[in-house]
Structure 1
């Protein structure tokens, strides 16, 4: 898609999805994880809304109105059955719909079924005259365990690009972001972005919407670091399993989610101001 430096045409943006869009870990003090349920979260969707609103106001247009209905831990089906109708009820002209990652972490995930359900939601949104921003999955080739999902993510991504082509949707290409291959973009849980990672994804979302990014270096790799000794890497992997993988697996076996008691952080569209 050609990138054009135009004023954003959208007046009301609603973000839906899971922890990725809720903005997990992107708190003012850098600690907005699941063990701090009341931490104020920002995230890439909030940043995207701020970028869009700033451009609109600079062009003399009213501030963008923005709501975020994403809730951590949500599978794709609840996103589509609960959040999509709620988003449509808010009468947006732009919706970002990024989900399916929690499903794909499960070995028995039916990626083709996920894609069919996603496409039905995109059709519903587009028929209502709403522009849609989808997001691909991230390339987890460097993760010791999550890389087992790489083939499923690749198939899902192919579906996403085809869905976007068929229905005129936009796509933020997370798989193609070179900067996200750097583990410094990721929190120690290796699943959620750091503040810097969220900032870069917000820039990629501008590009996905056909707008020029605010920072042309948004996908530049960081300066390389010397490789850690093998023993340190093994110890880090073991610590990651104990601290993050085991609790996640335990919740899954109990049929629970980190977002079971949570509601949307920004359920109603409000103007996004400069601060």
Structure 2
């Protein structure tokens, strides 16, 4: 694979994204269809990042970036590492984003230290193959109501991620530190997945994590403040969220099912990225 060296450091020629729904791209539908539409095509931050990297390669006189996305919603970390990482290595990438563990941490009995050990073994395997790795922290859930209960587990896992990155020379997408993601307008109705605007902000953060300049100087600026939501409206919103999102999730868990059980990767083969895809 050819390597392009430019002042912006776009040296990767084949990028493979692995992970869960965050990397699959829920709920970023480029054609504007509602997130609940199961047939809606998904884009997401990894797709946007690939398009940005590809555009910079082409501008520097290189070939378009080749890109695959193996992420599947609902996946726990071990299946990601067992199934997706070997498949990614088989595509011979020079850049892999490996972000997972969030679905595990939603479970109160999650063993965060074990998650970190498993993750580090996969990072070491990728780095030994000469692959650059982009990891990602969890988001700060301090403002997230019920999800706030996971905050200490997320923080511990994040600390492991930064240590793993230092030991193995990996890059880190710092979602915990993103100010813009503290605004609920960046999040879909399920309060777990990003909106199109949220995915766009994360793609900019990924460029920064890779040591590249972002497309927008003020990419992480918070949105303009909005009036506080009346208490009754908040309570109604919480009840609707529990009914429409928490209950179905809990029901799937009780029956040992996942939202991604019947799904396959949306982009299983590495193919050139066009400017229209970002």
- TM-score by shorter chain over 0.5: yes
Match of 2:216, SS? coil
Contact 1:177 1:219 in 2 (8 A): yes
Is the aligned partner of 1:94 residue 2:95? yes
* 1:93-122 deviation line (CA, Å, top 9, x unaligned): 000000000000000000000000000000
Counterpart in the other structure of 1:25: 27
CA–CA distance in 2 between the matches of 1:153 and 1:263?
Answer: 27
Counterpart in the other structure of 1:73: 74
Match of 2:275, SS? coil
CA–CA distance in 1 between the matches of 2:93 and 2:99?
Answer: 16
Deviation at 1:5, TM superposition (A): 5.3
RMSD of aligned C-alpha atoms?
1.1
Is the aligned partner of 1:129 residue 2:140? no
Tell me how many residue pairs correspond in the alignment: 271
Deviation at 1:32, TM superposition (A): 5.6
CA–CA distance in 2 between the matches of 1:41 and 1:235?
Answer: 29
Counterpart in the other structure of 2:115: 114
* 1:221-251 deviation line (CA, Å, top 9, x unaligned): 0000010111111111111000100000000
CA–CA distance in 2 between the matches of 1:237 and 1:147?
Answer: 14
Deviation at 1:30, TM superposition (A): 3.8
Which of 8, 11, 34 is the matching residue for 1:9?
11
Residues 32, 132 of structure 1: alpha-carbon distance in 2 compared, 3 angstrom cutoff? farther
Query: Under a length normalisation based on structure 2, what TM-score does the superposition of the two structures give?
Result: 0.96
1:103-252 to structure 2, matched below 5 A, reads 103-252=104-253
CA–CA distance in 1 between the matches of 2:110 and 2:69?
Answer: 26
Counterpart in the other structure of 2:3: none
Deviation at 1:31, TM superposition (A): 3.9
Query: Under a length normalisation based on structure 1, what TM-score does the superposition of the two structures give?
Result: 0.97
CA–CA distance in 1 between the matches of 2:64 and 2:110?
Answer: 40
Contact 1:26 1:32 in 2 (8 A): no
Contact 1:32 1:40 in 2 (8 A): no
Of 227-236 and 84-93, deviating more is 227-236
Deviation at 1:62, TM superposition (A): 0.6
Q: Which runs of 4+ in 1 moved over 6 A?
A: none
Residues 57, 192 of structure 1: alpha-carbon distance in 2 compared, 3 angstrom cutoff? same
Deviation at 1:47, TM superposition (A): 0.2
Gaps of 5+ in 2: 1-5
